Amino acid sequence: MNYLQNVIRILTLDTSVYRDMEKNNRLFFTAFVNVFLTGLFFGLARLYYVFYEGGGGFEDPRLQLLYLVGLLISVAQIFLAHAGFSLLLWAMSRGIKGQAAYFPVYLHTGTATVPLWLGLPMVTLYSWGLLGTFSLLLAAVGLTWGFATIAKSLMASQAFTFVRASIALAITIIFIFSFYVLWYGI
């Protein structure tokens, strides 16, 4: 199967897609591309904010290179966040009797980030006050769908039921959110 067919199967919550990608050695490629695109869309949302707040951007053409640097930093930030999130998810999964090593969880969750292409930029732009209620609705759809796809990927990597995968994912999200509240407040 090609990349686009795998993405459609991920979006339709087909758990067998992860096993098929492992068998065809496509899991690493798909995880890399999906996390890269998540970072790219996040970076584009940040650039939209720069244009919106900055009134159109930089006048000097040499400074326009900073846009590319900003996109690359956003992609790197998402790769690091994905590694940390996967590590926490793996630890929480081990706490409820998960069997897999870290790397399968990392690859499976990276592959499952497709709905975050919509959810992450929308929640980012909404939190900056740039978009209205419709963007919040799109963010909720993307993040809820992302929760489901990541739970399905955890089912595939840890041999969990959907309930156990959802519990591990919910505990991880609560853990991360508690640190967010401690650092930034609500």
Residue type, 8: I
Contact status, residue 41 vs residue 120, Cβ threshold 8 Å:
yes
User: In 3D, which of 11, 35, 6, 17 has the Cα closest to residue 156?
Assistant: 17
DSSP 131: S
Tell me the torsion sign for CA atoms 116, 119, 124, 125: positive
Q: How far apart are CA 169 and CA 117, in angstroms?
A: 19
Residue type, 27: L
Contact status, residue 156 vs residue 149, Cβ threshold 8 Å:
no
Q: What is the pLDDT of residue 123?
A: 86
Q: What is the pLDDT of residue 117?
A: 92
User: In 3D, which of 66, 62, 42 has the Cα closest to residue 54?
Assistant: 66
Q: What is the DSSP string of 30-59?
A: HHHHHHHHHHHHHHHHHHHHHHHHHTS--S
Tell me the torsion sign for CA atoms 99, 105, 108, 112: positive
Q: What is the pLDDT of residue 47?
A: 85
Q: How far apart are CA 127 and CA 107, in angstroms?
A: 29
pLDDT in tens, 116-132: 998 888 888 887 777 77
pLDDT in tens, 4-29: 999 999 999 998 999 999 898 999 99
Q: What is the pLDDT of residue 82?
A: 95
Contact status, residue 145 vs residue 119, Cβ threshold 8 Å:
yes
Q: What is the pLDDT of residue 32?
A: 96
For the purposes of burial, counting CB atoms within 10 Å of the CB of 31, is it exposed (0-12), middle (13-18) or buried (19 or more)? buried
Q: What is the pLDDT of residue 143?
A: 92
Q: What is the pLDDT of residue 105?
A: 93
Q: What is the pLDDT of residue 57?
A: 62
Q: What is the pLDDT of residue 159?
A: 87
Q: What is the pLDDT of residue 154?
A: 93
Regions in the chain scoring below 70 on pLDDT: 1, 54-58, 186
CB atoms closer than 10 angstroms to residue 122: 24
